[in-house]
Structure 1
Amino acid sequence: MTPEIETIYRSESRRVLATLIRLLGDFDLAEEALHEAFFVAVERWQRDGVPSNPRAWLVSTGRFKAIDRLRRQARFTPLLQGQADALEAAEWSEDDVEDDRLRLMFICCHPALAPDAQAALTLREICALTTEEIARAFLATPTTIAQRIVRAKAKIREAGIPYQVPSRDELPERLDSVLRVVYLVFNEGYSASMGANLTREDLTREAIRLGRLLVELLPEPEVIGLLALMLLHESRRAARTSADGELVLLDEQDRGLWDASLIAEGCALVEQALSTRRFGPYCLQAAIAAVHAEASSAGETDWPQIVGLYDVLLRAVPSPVIELNRAVALAMRDGPWAGLQAVEAIFARGELLDYHWAHSARGEFCRQLGRTEQACASYEKALSLIQQTPEKRFLERRLAELKTIRP
């Protein structure tokens, strides 16, 4: 496969799949058609050159491959002959290949599906995450995720869920699931669950693109807040790793590398969303990110304001992960002892015991307090849970530094 064809596959495969699902009305048939279309493309494009509209070519080829497949299977299942005839007779133009990923996102997040299935299906079908990556995001096994996806596809097929964007009256009740899934996509790109790279720009870019589409479709405060949150986080991406790919913590980042245009856009969106006074969790998280973004240095960060925003956020959405983030802010405001007490309270309830960042935070607080043995134990526990290479190397360096000063 040539580099050009590989680039087209990365940029177009999910768009092509979304359109094939709309045309064929079946997830599995569309996926098979997508793979067959690219198989043909590799052979023909290397010989004849890439067509002027590769996405339309792939959709057209995939559609005909699906029809051929149904006709072959109709010899054993006669009902498929009618499906093949209907697909062939349906009006369709290569000039009418639209971006169907927004439609696909809403069908993946249909209320007839369980919430965990909505997210898993969207991450798999729209963003091409592997079941292992999705499992890491959900703290589940790959087998469990694969079963959720299979059941979700079956539910969509059996219930005849329409492939369309909901009407404006239906949108609000469908929106929470969509926003949650978009943010999961962004988080997997912003801090990849596994692998050699800390970030996956393709996923953060895709999540932001979906966020912009949602703002255009439904400019509600929480939609605007989510887009602002993603933009503000993305503004720091270039500074989150060193030149050799090592993790750089927020207070050590070169803020000159932060993207000023994304910060300006994100802060403006935060102000727009908060001015409605109808804001929710995404707006509050965006407001916290904006306080970080507006500080010219780590030392000038308004930690009291951040702790206050976390207090409001916790009242709106009680969550041990949010509580952990508040503990970090609390330590910056009141010292590491306050942060350590907050983390210990979370552990005492039996929460976040398998979350590596909680043990890493505890290790950092203990390190700052001079509790070397406890810090080493926490870092070792975090290392046993982590699968992300740069984060693992960072913790290994922290641990090695502590072991040199052990009594």
Structure 2
Amino acid sequence: MRLEVVGKNVIRVDAFSKVTGRAIYPDDIYLEGMLYGKTLRSTVPHAYIKVDTREAEKIDGVVKIFTYKDVPNNRHGVVFKDQEVFCSEKVRRIGDPIAFVVAKDKKTCELAIERIKVEYEKIDAVFDPIEAMKPEAPKIHENSNIIYHYKLRKGDVEKGFRESYVIVENVYKTQMVDHAFLQPEAGVGYIDEEGRVTVVVATQYPHYDRDEIAQSLDLPVEKVRVVNTNVGGAFGGREDISLQIHLALAAYVLKKPVKVTYSREESFLAHAKRHPMIMKYKTGASKDGLLLAMEAEIIGDAGAYASWSRNVLRKAGVHATGPYYIPNVKIDSIAVYTNNPFTGAMRGFGATQVAIAYEQQMDILARKLGIDPVTIRKKNLFRQGSETATGQILTESVPLEECLDKAIEGMGF
């Protein structure tokens, strides 16, 4: 087969429209008779709620205020259906959606949001994932706060540590990070010429979005259409539902086009973040720098909803040993609910955080053994034929040593 793209300098099909400003994003779309929407969000992290929309509904120009009562199936979520389209009895984080105002213009939406009365009965919250794992901790959902526990076992860790000349133990922490993409969430919902509920949105998962919209509205999937526009950055932050179901519900009920554009502040409140992780590492090596054992406990703060936490923490566990051969491994990787902003997909998907830990362990081992940090890495790098901690045999494409050599050369060492 003749390769027409691989290895060639090919012009992106969307490059011209983007650099000339002709590319269409959701906020560029205007339809005749279009209404506007805005979401009322929780201002407290954990509380039972009572919502009164009567005063807001009297405002001239307000078309409808949607709450959980208007949603046929009020549950959604990419892996676990643990999120509500609109909170019915309890909020679990700051930013939880409570109601959705649809009005003739944006100013009326904002005025109505101010007039909706929310009575909060605050309850104990937990923001530390280690505290959240304790049996007596406040429960974010009905059951345990532990969402997922991945276990990786290889060889005999205790024997590996007994045979180690040097052992390094440390705890590493990474912070919550927002994707901060350039284009805040925006979209338009309407009924198309074939009678389908249509949502025009910048998304990473149009097929997931369609499924979740269909389930929430109790519609056949073929009655829902998601049109993906140009995406102004995502990096994982558009893999969860934000405004898609709100728009679809409003369009379906009102039979009119409805548009929403988030402010930067609301964007921060609405979408998932990178998982903060607490990583307790213990690494043992021989006198000449060969890695013999590693034990790690990785605790990931999932926030109020699971999102992709199961997948992220599994990948963190799988990659906890890094690009190094270690014969004896014990890894526990745990995702935990808290009342923090919910966390999900972000570039690296769990493999990014653990690199902070295993690479610092390598530097500390090198210093304690009096070995150059490059040399100790070369002694332990995966090569063709190496076995990973999960038992995978690497049969091809393992150019790690070459990559390290090129990096050192580029740094002038």
TM-score with structure 2 length normalisation? 0.22
Name whichever structure is richer in helix by fraction. Answer: 1
Write 1 or 2 for the structure with the bigger share of strand.
2
